[in-house]
Amino acid sequence: MSRPVSMQGTGTGKEPLRSSAPQWVKEAGRKVSVTFGRLTASHRLLPSFLVIGGQRCGTTALHRALIAHPVVAGPVLHKGINYFDLGYHHGPEWYRGHFPLRATARRRAAGARLPLTGGASGPPEPQAMESSGYYLYHPLALPRISQDLPDVRLIVMLRDPVERAYSAYKHAVARGFDTEPTFEGALELEESRLAGEEERLRTDPRYVSHSHRHHAYLTRGRYVEQLRRLYDVFDPGQVHVVASEDFSARPEPVFAGILDFLGLPAWRPASFERYNARPGKPLPEPLRRRLDDYFAPYDEELAQLLGQPPVWRSAAASVRSADPGEPAR
């Protein structure tokens, strides 16, 4: 891949500004925007790629870097639309209404001075995307994506599952999603909290499970199970797996590899930031070792699936990753 030629910053105006307006004003504005989006859906982009997870694996930082690219258009209102997991009943026009108008995205892409790719002779065609970290784990999301967007490309971010689980617990407590006072207690409750939830999600498409979404600290770290489900409905060539630890340590080459996978012109932001990190007390070493042992067989199967051991199991990995942050969704 050619060397990135731009040092453009991320101040693109592509994300909505945070407002101090009352909540009812924000909600009214959101409803107007969604209604207008639905009415103009046929003139809007559909995503050509998605960031589908995992939760607390640094997808917010990657999303921010991607939507800063002049050719990439993110959702109008939110980073993640949660259509294929929580909002599928709204229908395809509702979903498409969240993305920018095709003409607007084309004008922006045409104004960017980027190298042409793939023998192109004109301005690069804009690509829309969204990031919803629940897609990888929700039992119905991947088949729905495959049905509605069969040619879409998918990016999956993975992270040391021990660190991910602890980060997810701290996030859930901070947001009020979990009232269990200790991480170890939440782990002990997980099996009972999740009992029957996946089956109900499969049989009742409108059912929303709070525990399945917010309390699966161990289960969401069994990445091999989720990737196997993914490869059941998508060709592996449509999937790009990124280790969060690699993106944190070597953001420029990892990001360049992602752009190459997506067929996007070479480019880089002025900097790569972390978002929504949850600092706190370190995980007690005895519990860390116990969780390392728990995840070991799943990580071994993951290594077989991907053809190489995950970076957090590498003999050369001597330092745990910092919390890369993750969305509040």
Q: Is the pLDDT of residue 327 over 70?
A: no
Q: What angle in degrees, to the nearest 10, is found between the helix axes of 161-174 and 183-194?
A: 90
Band (pLDDT 50/70/90 cuts) for residue 319 is very low
Per-residue pLDDT reduced to its tens digit, 176-200: 999 999 999 999 999 999 999 999 9
| pLDDT value, residue 23 | 57
Between 223 and 19, name the one with better pLDDT. Answer: 223
Q: Is the pLDDT of residue 302 over 80?
A: yes
DSSP helix/strand/coil, 154: strand
* Of residues 323, 273, 253, 327, the one with CA closest to residue 65: 273
d(CA 261, CA 153): 9
d(CA 87, CA 64): 23
Between 278 and 100, name the one with better pLDDT. Answer: 100
| pLDDT value, residue 2 | 32
Mean pLDDT for the stretch of residues 307-327: 66
| pLDDT value, residue 28 | 52
pTM above 0.75, yes or no: yes
Each domain of the chain, given as residue ranges in start order, spans 23-313
User: 128 is written with which tokens?
Assistant: 């829309």
Per-residue pLDDT reduced to its tens digit, 123-143: 788 999 999 999 999 999 999
Record: fold of 23-313:
Rossmann fold (3.40.50)
Does residue 85 contact residue 68 with C-beta atoms inside 8 Å? no
Answer positive or negative: Cα dihedral of 81, 49, 61, 32.
Answer: negative
